[in-house]
Amino acid sequence: MRKILFIFLVFSVIFTAYAQNSDEWYQGRPIRNIIFEGLRNVRAIELDGITEQFIGLPFSDTLYWEILGRFYALEYFETMSPTVLRADPAGNEIVIRFTVTERPIVSRINFVGNTALRRNELLGTITLNVHDVATQVRIRLDEVAIVNRYLESGYPDVRVTSEMQQEANSTIIITFHIEEGERITIEGFRFEGNNAFSARTLQRQLAHRARGIIQDGAFQESKLIADKEGLLRYYHDRGYLDAVIIDDIRQITRDDKGNNNMIITFRIHEGRPYTFGGVTFEGNHIFSTAQLEAQIFTKVGEVANQRRLMTDIMRVSELYFENGYVFNYIEPQELKNTEEGIISFHFTIIERSRAHIENIVIRGNTRTQDHVILNEIPLEPGDVFSRAKVMDGLRNLMNLRFFNSILPEPVPGSVENLMDLIINVEEAQTIELQLGLAFSGTADPDQFPISAQVQFSDRNFRGSGNEIGADLQLSPDTQLLSLNYMQRRLFNNLPFSGNFDLTIQHATRSTALDNLYPRFYNDERDRDHAYPDGFGSYEEYIAASRVSPKEYMMPYNQWSISVGIGAGYRWSTEAGNLTLSGGFRVGMILNQYESNLYRPFDAVLRASNNTWNPATSMWTSLSLDQRDLFYDPSTGYYAIQRLGYYGLLPVEDEHFIRSDTKAEIFFTLWNLRVTDNWYFKGVLGLHSGFSFIFPHPGRNAPIIQELNMLSVDGMFVGRGWDSEWSNRGMALFSNWVELRIPLVPGIIAWDFFFDAAGVKNSPGELFDSFFENDNSTPGRDTFFMRFSLGGGIRFSIPQFPIRFSIARTFKIIDGKVEWQPGPIGPGLRFVLSFALWSY
């Protein structure tokens, strides 16, 4: 017996050791890869977004269950059987292999019983497509979508069920069985009990519309609920706080054609109108009564608008909330004097200590690393909660363009006066590969505006928040290759960014000739009287806005290669994000033309023919940004001062300093709710900017190629004035006012604009005289600014910042508006421009 016991104990020890050393040898070993066997319809690349997060992590049972849960959540697989393999002979790393059984995919979708809606309409309604993985959840959601589509068309009794028929090769046929019921349309509306407002006025508040030539009059139960809410809202906002909808009576009749027509009658009890009687407070010590009263914008004696009163009440709570007093008890008591028609409020306040943040938790991010999100939120555990800082964090996160939605959720912490801040995010696609045609963005009317483009970018490289990109553009006169990388945070995760780019470009350009006599050097000796071929005098040149006839233009090639390095530091302040940036660029430029045939009017171009010349520059800028979204702002402001120093080496062709000062501000003028998901919004934007070119210290004048001088180009500055593109100078004053109306928020908007811009020969002239040289319009005073107004479509997608507009241009001569001719209709011009964002 003792021998048997001894053998059993020895065997148990050996078995346990073997089990630990053999069966669970993979515990704690880094995961090199996760692979799949049995994939037929699901592509491995679709699973990379999950597998990448776990590569390199040490294996554990907890980690394994997390991996398994992530894959099952995709609903791609019926079963998953894991196997752990050695990635190398020593087993230092492991490979997890999943043998999977896929769920069936859809081979066909059928609809039975649909007579009112066609098959294509229903296919556009559901989310399932042929070759999709079919799940019960998606099928159920599509049933609901079909029901909702019928309800919108006026079929309140519709019923939808589904059936799955198993086919070979793991495919199924899905059939939706539809019982449509009868359609009901609205013939009209009636109102009973309305004395304060007419039936016509009330009918305008309804979401429903009666059947007519344009309106189909389809009845929807959900719209009827919205109708009653709209009527009450109209009454309550005009002081009738006791107004109620007693009943809605539906009368259905059938006409000779068999149509079901409904008349809806709303029975209303209006009550009496109220005025506002003021507020009182009890229990407030942190904020004085005067501070709290200042949050109530409604004045005593005004008509009691319920929505404004509720906003006032919320404003009192937000004053505490904003300053970290999250757990206060604030109870507004409504006091109604029905005899005099006065409503007042008494606030009972129980004040508690400020709330401190215990944890900040990120949810929903499968690719973006937590620290990338936390870096953009100006709060840390232990800080006093601040709603303003949370909103600043949300703005920072939205401007990253990593997420479709961001939702903050404050919840109580482990003990009193502590809270957790949960940030729920929905990630967007940040990897983009674009193949196709692109607008070049050049303001030069002689250059071909469209190029073939191959562009790759990853705004969130490996979830790190850093950005990489490559861009190849090919057109008949311009070829460009650009590689770039941006590190969002440097030096131990400070808000210190760095960027690098390599750009190679070739362009075929044109410039004015100076072949004929008299010839000019176009330097300080004759800058104010030199003129190119095609003109008989300097005055003729000015009168033509410095635009040479095409037959007196010469072609030349320009090659350039450059490397740019930049850095910036960002401070989060109450006034907005303050950013100090700087950098330098080192490159080489080669200009080529046939010197035996051509002599360019541009002195810089003459001096650099057929030789590679260095081109260096350095720049610095200081900006303040308080916009909600940099690429499509609705509110906030932006200001920047940028200074560039060009020509760091004495041997370079160009030596000048450029200063740009710009400011923008945006206001939301209105934001009216039209549907649950769409608001009719109007945004007013104003912009003003000065640009100057100065000489280097010790020089009397800048040395600069004409192409790099300032102008009203008609595309970016002074839209519609493309004829002014060659009229270049050393000072530019540019302004615009825009009314932006989003049609599809974040995608497309309708804009109206007014532009005013002008260029002068020197910075001093911009302030000395507001009129052009008298020789351009003899005997008349022409204001130097160029004006335009118009409107059109703007794409607010960051990857497609194109505007299509129609503009009308004019000058002010002798104090009067003089409209300029245009190729379209009554002086109109088509303008293709680009939305330039500063960030």
Contact 408, 363 (CB under 8 A): no
Q: How far apart are the first and last CA of the chain?
A: 84
Bridge-based pairing state of the strands 244-254 and 260-269 = antiparallel
Could you give the angle at which helices 221-236 and 306-322 cross, rounded to 10 degrees?
A: 90
Dihedral (CA of 789, 795, 798, 802) sign: negative
Amino acid at 403: F
Q: Indicate the length of the chain as a whole number.
A: 839
CB 221 within 8 A of CB 151: yes
**C-alpha triplet 286, 287, 289: angle, nearest 5°:** 135
Looking at the DSSP bridge assignments, the partners of residue 589 are 560, 613
Q: For residue 447, what pLDDT is reported?
A: 57
């530019």: which residue's tokens? 732
Q: Which of 593, 556, 557, 561 is nearest to 480 (CA)?
A: 561
Predicted TM-score (pTM) above 0.85: no
Amino acid making up residue 773: N
3-state secondary structure of 722: helix
Place of tokens 């129980």: 350
Kindly report the backbone phi and psi dihedral angles of residue 460, in degrees, each rounded to the nearest multiple of 5, phi listed first.
-135, 70
Structure tokens at 242: 């006791």
CA–CA gap between residue 562 and residue 590 (Å, rounded)? 12
CA atoms within 13 A on the CB side of 445: 16
The candidate with the shortest Cα–Cα distance to 367, out of 397, 403, 405, 412, is 403
Which token pair is 165? Answer: 């028929």
Would you state the structure tokens that stand for residue 812, as one six-digit string? 């002010």
**pLDDT given for residue 769 in this prediction:** 74
Give pLDDT < 50 ranges for the chain.
1-21, 441, 443, 774-776
Give dist(CA 810, CA 720) in Å, integer.
Answer: 10
Distance CA 414, CA 183 (A): 56
pLDDT of residue 74: 78
Cα 255 from chain centroid (whole Å): 51
pLDDT tens for each residue of 405-434: 899 998 888 888 899 999 999 998 888 887
653, 669 contact by CB (below 8 A): no
189 in Cβ contact with 217 (< 8 Å): no
Distances (CA, A) of 4 to 9, 12, 17, 544: 9, 12, 20, 114
The string of pLDDT tens digits covering residues 62-121 is 888 888 888 887 778 888 889 899 888 888 899 999 998 888 888 899 999 998 899 999
CB-CB contact of 745 with 731 (8 Å): no
Task: Read off the pLDDT of residues 246-275 as tens digits, 9 standing for 90 and up.
Answer: 999 999 888 887 788 999 999 999 999 999
Q: Are 241 and 306 in contact (CB under 8 A)?
A: yes
**The amino acid at 241:** L
H helical segments located in 43-100: 48-54, 61-73
Cβ-based neighbours of 550, under 8 Å, separated by 6 or more: none
φ, ψ dihedrals at 417, nearest 5°: 70, 10
Name the packing angle between helices 306-322 and 387-400 (round to 10°): 100
Contact 213, 288 (CB under 8 A): no
- What does the alpha-carbon distance between residue 694 and residue 805 come to, in Å, rounded to a whole number? 34
**The pair of three-digit structure tokens given for residue 704, joined into one six-digit string:** 């600069």
Say whether 211 sits in a helix, a strand or coil.
coil
Q: Which residues contact 474 (CB under 8 A, 6 or more apart)?
A: 451, 452, 453
Nearest Cα to 810, choosing from 738, 731, 756, 759?
756
d(CA 723, CA 789): 16
> Could you give the domains of the chain?
21-102 (3.10.20.310), 105-179 (3.10.20.310), 184-269 (3.10.20.310), 275-350 (3.10.20.310), 356-427 (3.10.20.310), 489-834 (2.40.160)
3-class SS at 492?
A: coil
For residue 14, the model assigns a pLDDT of 39
Please give the structure tokens belonging to residue 500: 């690098």
The 3 state secondary structure assigned to 2-42 is HHHHHHHHHHHHHHHHHHHHHHCCCCCCEEEEEEEECCCCC
C-alpha to C-alpha distance for 670 and 45, rounded to whole angstroms: 45
Per-residue burial over 284-313, b if 16 or more Cβ lie within 10 Å, else e, is: beebeeeebeebbebeeeeebbbebbeebb
User: Residue 832 is which amino acid?
Assistant: L
Cα–Cα dist 706/243, whole Å:
71
Question: Dihedrals φ, ψ of 442, to 5°?
Answer: -75, 145
Closest alpha carbon to 507 in 441, 604, 601, 434: 441
